[in-house]
A and B are shown apart, each in its own frame.
Chain A
Amino acid sequence: MYGFEALTFNIHGGYLEAIVRGHRAGLLTTSDYNNLCQCETLDDIKMHLSATEYGPYLQNEPSPLHTTTIVEKCTLKLVDDYKHMLCQATEPLSTFLEYITYGHMIDNVVLIVTGTLHERDVQELLEKCHPLGMFDSIATLAVAQNMRELYRLVLVDTPLAPYFSECITSEDLDDMNIEIMRNTLYKAYLEDFYRFCQKLGGATAEIMSDLLAFEADRRAVNITINSIGTELTRDDRRKLYSNFGLFYPYGHEELAVCEDIDQVRAVMEKYPPYQSIFAKLSYGESQMLDKAFYEEEVKRHCLAFEQQFHYAVFFAYMRLREQEIRNLMWISECVAQNQKSRVHDSVVFIF
């Protein structure tokens, strides 16, 4: 019932929307980042963060700090927020919130499988997994030898099971296969999420389709750029693009045949929303593209908060927090390695 969410939204979603908006007010601001960039040691960073919402999470850490500790604790805060919201949520918001974590689940599956392939210790791998993407039997992934086993043993119990229908093969796992699996899974996930949001309707569908379309397009561009010069055929590449988004379907045809970054750029510049991304980049440059994409993404997520009575704020908040944690990680790394001149290279200011 588009336009009439205001009548009924607050019955179930009002409390959580208030909560998420409160959390959003706790995101670090530009002045916080400016202060953080001036820090000399990790202790300074901790001290500055102790005045923010991260304070309680960092206060019990003994003094020789490491970047990983900071990131870990900050992620813990995100996870706590998420869990609190999930506990309070009712249908369909709870399903929506669960959808947000599937991306991390895919990443974790890929991480464990790749790690086992290179014979890493499972415990060590588990520590690297994103806590939002954990599921019960994740450690058992190490047992599987090929996709079929992977599916049959472990993933059949997880929400990812339906996404696997396209990539069940008996081939043994190798790096290439895994990467293709990741992208196929991601494609299926994004399409499913997109369908789910369309089913919800209203402002949620409108805003989420915009955000997810951007996500899908970004993945398409990344797949194209990363697969240039590999043995991935054009058809295979075409198959990895999600079937929605601004590029779908004509842009995908063009992206599939791209051979270098400038061709990708030429394709993207045909789409007005993406022209601004390239405005600041010089030709042939792909390093800064990631940051440009992140900046655009952050802008869109911030805009999601401008409208009320929809679920996209939850998605946007989670993504913004993750971006903030990436920023903190970058700043801490720069501070720890004494590379302060490079601090601004990868930090995306949120406000």
Chain B
Amino acid sequence: MFPGKMDQFIDNLPPMDLMRSEKMTFVQLIIPAESAHRAISYLGELGLLQFRDLNAEKSPFQRTFVNQVKRCAEMSRKLRFFKDQINKAGLMSSSRTVLQPDIDLEDLEVHLAEHEHELIEMNSNSDKLRQSYNELLEFKIVLQKACSFLISSHGRPVSDERELQENVYSNDDYIETASLLEQEMRPQPSNMSGLRFISGIICKFKVLRFERMLFRATRGNMLFNQAPAGEQIMDPISSEMIEKTVFVVFFSGEQARTKILKICEAFGANCYPVPEDISKQGQITREVTSRLTDLEATLDAGIRHRNKALASIADHLTKWMNLVRREKAVYDTLNMLNFDVTKKCLVGEGWCPMIAKTQMQEALQRATFDSNSQVGIIFHQMDAVESPPTYFRTNTFTNPYQEIVDAYGVARYQEANPAVYTTIIFPFLFALMFGDWGHGICLLLGALVLIARENKLSTQKLGSFMEMLFGGRYVILLMSLFSIYCGLIYNEFFSVPFHIFGASAYQCRDSSCRDAYTIGLIKYREPYPFGVDPSWRGSRSELSFLNSMKMKMSILFGVAHMNLGIILSYFNARFFGSSLDIRYQFVPQMIFLNSLFGYLSLLIIVKWCTGSQADLYHVMIYMFLSPTDSLGENQLFWGQRPLQIVLLLLAVVAVPWMLFPKPFILKKLHTEVRQPCHSVSGANCFRLCNCLYTTYDGESQCFSSCPAASLGRISK
């Protein structure tokens, strides 16, 4: 009598939206070639149809619309190039949308090619300029620094360096071959050793290795002077500013010269000739400086011009990117469709939710109308063997919860969806751990800011972390509300208790409060009306009181939560009509959980209600170790010992009941089905076999649509 009523009650429950995923249907589309593009893009805007790849065996470049896809890829490459250039130039890609006429793909392609060409040309020009600018700048720095070496050595008449300087010597035939270095000659060669120098500039981080290498190559017969350049020079490749060091190497001999030049080349050090004569130095410096200013002006003009071009691109960039991305998606989808025999129509298959059918038909009609097609698009339902995809209709509130649940695993088609319960349980469990109404208010303010600026933020591109926060703004809102609530119960405001709901129920014995920590307080009022009494704070028994309260509460919530999960599995089994799951999974699980942990919860509640001093650890542990012994002072209610023995036996029985029968029954069913079945008529038999194979992993979603059998009926 009772189970019948129960069934009736469950059947009459109103359906929950998110509880089961949408009913899906397998549809076939036959689209005339002329309206295909438009139809797919309209369907894409709707986003309610999942296409099946009908050309899975073809490689990407053998598909029909491969050229269009390639063109889109090429265009997006160009767009990425523009974006990169814009970022390098330090221009903000403006979020303001310029009103502009809709541009179609062909025009855009031409447009982009023009822009790219223009940009590349400008870049190469400015690169050339930049290079000569860098060279001049480096020359200038080398002149300044190297001169200071040379002059300082002149200035100290007795020093060794002066000696070296005096000896700088070049012979005549050398000066003709020297292209890179222009050595200043001294008319009177003082000795035959011939000391010369090479000056140049090198990246700062290479100096040490450079010096070591020079030392080795010349066997120590050289003098190395260096000074920081002072100015940073732009690296032409990465366009970053790098620090460089000016160096002057003194050496002797022709062989050493070639070696040093080779090493300079290998280290990417640029050598510049520095004249010995001070007046000549001054002259060259002036020349270089004037050319530098000229170049700077040209370079600046070039950069301004380029920035202007880039800025005009930047205005359109987002729109173009969206357009190209959309086109590419459309062609990628078109590549999933098949041509029919006549080559005039495209055939597509896919899954769509039942409720979206009218919307889709409307979109398809619109597509036919807009593309002036003679023939309409045919849209009809089909049967499919495979199981449908899971699709939940979510909104901004439920979406983050659905994502949290999906992170653990996506529910099968029409399986009960835990996201429904997660919407409340997740923030609530968070708040149990984060119960503090001060912190809760901070969190609430943050959530409110996010929600208040919803319209603005949703159009902006946020960082990955911010995006996560923004996506979960309603989760945070609920979390904060619950933590304020729990914080009030815990009576904690930044860990400080407040007397919000009146004065404490406890007071000291006398006015001096001397024995508050030895004997304790006395209760002289009704219990605190809401939450924890503030007097517990700082008392000697605070920790044991709060621990016992929070821990026991956690056990109660945990057991309730687990029960909810198992009960959901019952609804699942019921929905899919699998009595096997109910009998050999749900029932023993329920018994096992509740005979151990359910019993513990019961003990906790009884202890709370009666105010007993029983030690629940002791009760639980000795329930396993020596169930027949008497409980002594830990007895909470009459008949506890026999009850414990019964519960223990039930739990012991539940374990093999839960683990063994189900796999064996499934194996038996499997072997039965693989044998040719004569009893069932042909078609049904095939159907049944199919169902069993597709869902053999012990799940039975297909049975609900398989009229011949449900697992429960077979197992009978």
Residues on A close to B: CB < 8 A?
35, 38-40, 43-44, 47-48, 50-51, 59-63, 122, 136-137, 139-140, 142-143, 152-154
Among listed B70-78, B183-191, B571-579, interface-contacting one: B70-78
Check B213 against A48 for contact (C-beta < 8 Å): no
Check B81 against A143 for contact (C-beta < 8 Å): no
Taking the nearest CB of chain A, how far is it from the CB of B635, in angstroms?
Answer: 48
Residue among B62, B77, B216 facing the most chain A CB atoms (10 A cut-off): B216
Check B263 against A63 for contact (C-beta < 8 Å): no
Check A153 against B80 for contact (C-beta < 8 Å): no
Residues of B within 8 A of A63 (CB): 74
Top 8 closest pairs, chain A to chain B, by CB: A139-B266, A35-B59, A44-B61, A140-B266, A143-B262, A47-B61, A153-B216, A143-B259
Residues of B within 8 A of A140 (CB): 213, 262-263, 266-267
Residues of B within 8 A of A48 (CB): 59-61
Taking the nearest CB of chain A, how far is it from the CB of B118, in angstroms?
Answer: 15
Check A139 against B70 for contact (C-beta < 8 Å): no
Given A139-B266, A153-B217, residue A59 in contact with residue B61 (CB < 8 A): no
Residues of A within 8 A of B73 (CB): 47, 50, 59
The answer to the question of B265 belonging to the interface, with a C-beta cut-off of 8 Å to chain A, is yes
**C-alpha spacing A218/B62, complex, angstroms:** 40
Taking the nearest CB of chain B, how far is it from the CB of A340, in angstroms?
Answer: 14
Hey, what's the 0/1 contact readout for B256-274 against A, CB within 8 Å counting as 1? Answer: 0001001101110000000
Given A142-B262, A152-B216, residue A43 in contact with residue B70 (CB < 8 A): yes
**C-alpha spacing A36/B216, complex, angstroms:** 51
Given A59-B73, A59-B77, A60-B81, residue A137 in contact with residue B59 (CB < 8 A): no
Residues on B close to A: CB < 8 A?
59-62, 66, 69-70, 73-74, 77, 80-81, 209, 213, 216-217, 259, 262-263, 265-267
Q: Number of residue pairs across A and B with beta carbons under 8 Å?
A: 54
A-B contact pairs, 24 of them (CB 8 A): A35-B59, A39-B61, A43-B70, A47-B60, A47-B61, A47-B66, A48-B60, A48-B61, A50-B73, A51-B60, A59-B73, A60-B77, A61-B77, A62-B77, A63-B74, A122-B265, A137-B209, A139-B265, A139-B267, A140-B213, A140-B266, A143-B217, A143-B266, A153-B217
Residues of A within 8 A of B81 (CB): 60
Minimal Cβ-Cβ distance residue in B for A154? B213
Residues of A within 8 A of B262 (CB): 140, 142-143
Helix, strand, loop or mixed for chain B's interface?
Answer: helix
Minimal Cβ-Cβ distance residue in B for A41? B61
**C-alpha spacing A277/B216, complex, angstroms:** 49
Residues of A within 8 A of B61 (CB): 39-40, 44, 47-48
Residues of A within 8 A of B209 (CB): 136-137
Taking the nearest CB of chain B, how far is it from the CB of A123, in angstroms?
Answer: 9
Contacts A38-B62, A39-B61, A48-B61 known; list 15 others, CB within 8 Å: A35-B59, A38-B59, A43-B70, A44-B61, A60-B80, A122-B265, A139-B265, A139-B267, A142-B262, A142-B266, A143-B262, A152-B216, A153-B213, A153-B216, A154-B213
Residues of B within 8 A of A50 (CB): 73
Check B266 against A122 for contact (C-beta < 8 Å): yes
Taking the nearest CB of chain B, how far is it from the CB of A229, in angstroms?
Answer: 36
Residue among B66, B81, B213 facing the most chain A CB atoms (10 A cut-off): B213
Minimal Cβ-Cβ distance residue in A for B57? A31
Taking the nearest CB of chain B, how far is it from the CB of A221, in angstroms?
Answer: 37
**C-alpha spacing A47/B65, complex, angstroms:** 13
**C-alpha spacing A142/B60, complex, angstroms:** 47
Residues of B within 8 A of A35 (CB): 59
